[in-house]
Amino acid sequence: MPGFELFGEEEKKEVNDVLETGILMRYGFDGLRNGHFKAKEFEQKFSEVMGTEYAQLTSSGTSALTVALASAGIGAGDEVILPTFTFVASFESVLALGAVPILADVDETLGLNAKAVEKRISIKTKAIMPVHMCGSIVHLEPLRELAKKHNLLLIEDACQAIGGTYQGKKVGSYGDIGCFSFDFVKTITCGEGGALITNNQTFAENADKYQDHGHDHIGNDRGAETHPFLGYNYRISELHAAVGLGQLKKFNQILEKQKLNYSILAEELSKITEVSLTHTPKEAEPNYSFLNFFLPTEEQTKKVAHHLKAEGVEACFYWYANNWHYYKYWEHLKEQKTLGKLPQEVREQLQDFDKEDFSLSDEWLSRNISTLVKVSWTEEEMKQRAQKIAKAIKAAL
């Protein structure tokens, strides 16, 4: 996930435009900005690229998720179903609203399994939040059918798969709302930043207000604006938006290079019969930011992870034993370790992790290894990497 690898003239130009005016905020000061509205321009271009009516930038991917949920009316005690394999931001964004994250199993797509989700639906469930992890694509159609049947929202976390597609649509644009991160290690970066996309006018208008203290953004006197409802400050700065605007110009180039580098590794691994790649649903295309594969047994996978480390092959991840991305290591969530008191609804409704069964997730994650695909690697470097990875696998079989 390599936007920062290509940092250069485009970003500098956009940032300089802003620095020259000195207006680092996205709202107000219209007379002083020399016509530059970088956040606004980024939103327009981003919604075009994603094929949605609306895009709303925010200060981070985590806040994009929170703003998305808030804009759709999710609040205290509402349950949001998320995968056991994701970044911690998924449940943080839910908890920020006093809502309750409910975990459900992932499958061979590394994403939410619809049957597993159905078992977790309660009278309090309001949304399903699939996460496209490591460039892979969740099988969304069964989730949408489930959402329809139970009158739930489908909110996609596409932070790690930006540019991937599902049934001809960009991921993030399939659900009711889709969220992205532009943090430093994502496919395109603002330094810090995020966005949500939607075709729902009400959600878009709510998001516009909510991320800026509930401001109605009517007229050009910010001090005189009204506040139809309570909001928060989840705004992006004009400087960060400018960086992202520069990065957006390289988006296709990044995706193409990722695909090329991915295919070099995929070809090498296809020669090893014991290796199978993460399942990509029919009519879907990953964004190729990672190549993820399964081995036949947990034992073998552990050995491969060990060999990769010993051989110094960088950026290979055995998430099953990683404290950031898998439920097994979310002690702070499981033990409800917070600085202040959690809302009563959250305390009462959170799952009892000693009793829950996530063996389907364990079955897939214990046999999965994810390898990063950088854009700065040359074909030659990628070939060498592919050979090293293949060697580590063969040594463990």
Ligand X SMILES: *Cc1c(COP(=O)(O)O)cnc(C)c1O
Catalytic residue set: 186
CB nearer to ligand X: pick between 10 and 92: 92
Q: Which of 285, 339, 344, 295 is nearest to 316 (CA)?
A: 295
**Single-letter amino acid, residue 160:** Q
CB nearer to ligand X: pick between 114 and 196: 196
- Count residues near ligand X (CB under 6 A): 14
Cα separation, 213 vs 211, whole angstroms: 6
Residue 172, interface with ligand X (CB under 6 A)? Answer: no
Applying the rule CB under 6 A, the residues between 125 and 164 that interact with ligand X are 131, 157, 159-160
Q: Considering only residues 60, 173, 187, 280, which one is a binding residue for ligand X as defined by CB under 6 A?
A: 60
Residue 87, interface with ligand X (CB under 6 A)? Answer: yes
Residue 175, interface with ligand X (CB under 6 A)? Answer: no
Window 62-81: contact mask with ligand X (x via CB under 6 A): x-------------------
Q: Is residue 282 helix, strand or coil?
A: coil
Residue 86, interface with ligand X (CB under 6 A)? Answer: yes
Question: HSE (CB half, 13 Å, CA atoms) of 30?
Answer: 5
CB nearer to ligand X: pick between 7 and 87: 87
Residue 4, interface with ligand X (CB under 6 A)? Answer: no
Residue 171, interface with ligand X (CB under 6 A)? Answer: no
Applying the rule CB under 6 A, the residues between 184 and 203 that interact with ligand X are 194
CB nearer to ligand X: pick between 59 and 125: 59
Q: Are 177 and 153 in contact (CB under 8 A)?
A: yes
| Range list of H helices, the chain | 9-21, 38-50, 61-71, 89-95, 114-120, 140-149, 201-210, 238-248, 251-269, 298-310, 331-334, 344-349, 359-365, 379-396
Q: Which structure tokens are listed for 129?
A: 């939040």
Bridge-based pairing of strands 177-181 and 153-157 is: parallel
| Contact footprint for ligand X (CB under 6 A) | 60-62, 86-87, 89-90, 131, 157, 159-160, 181, 183, 194
